[in-house]
Amino acid sequence: MVRVKRGKIAHKRRKHLLEHAKGFRWGRKTKYRAAKEALMHAWKYAYRDRRAKKRDFRKLWQVQINAACRQLGISYSKFIAGLKKNKIELDRKILAILAQSHPKIFEKIVEKIKQ
């Protein structure tokens, strides 16, 4: 019988996983079992937080728009309702940028809504 040499695929799989664990602390970067467990958690959190990031930024933009609106004498909810009524289709990200970087333009938008 011909001798069957094994371990090539398993070695490749483990090596690939340990490459992803580079930069982890303690034994989690060198020990296969600990690295595998750490990576499963890391990838799970990364997947979850890619979605949470969108929610977090939207909340931040709402706070920034609200602060700018209050200074101009209008509440956030009335501002958003006015945008929809006047068919002004600017998203919250752009409105937050305008409120911070270009207050004159933001003020003109608020004046148009107040009319």
Upper half-sphere CA count for residue 3 (Cβ side, 13 Å): 2
> How many domains does the chain contain in total?
1
Let me know if residue 104 belongs to a domain.
yes
Asked whether residue 52 is assigned to any structural domain, the reply reads yes
Enumerate residues 6+ apart whose C-beta is below 8 A from 13.
none
Residues in the chain: 115
Question: What's the pTM?
Answer: 0.81
Q: From CA 88, how far away is CA 57, in angstroms rounded?
A: 21
In a domain, 3, yes or no: no
Q: Does the residue 29 lie in any domain? A: yes
Q: Which residue in this structure is represented by tokens 């969108």?
A: 54
Any domain includes 31: yes
- Provide the CATH number for the domain around residue 29: 1.10.1900.20
Interhelix angle 76-85/32-71, nearest 10 degrees: 80
Q: What is the predicted pLDDT for the residue at 108?
A: 97
Q: Quick check: is 2 in a domain?
A: no
Residue 1 in domain: no
Reported as a single tens digit per residue, the pLDDT across 21-78 is 999 999 999 999 999 999 999 999 999 999 999 999 999 999 999 999 999 999 999 9
Residue 77 sits in which domain range?
A: 8-114
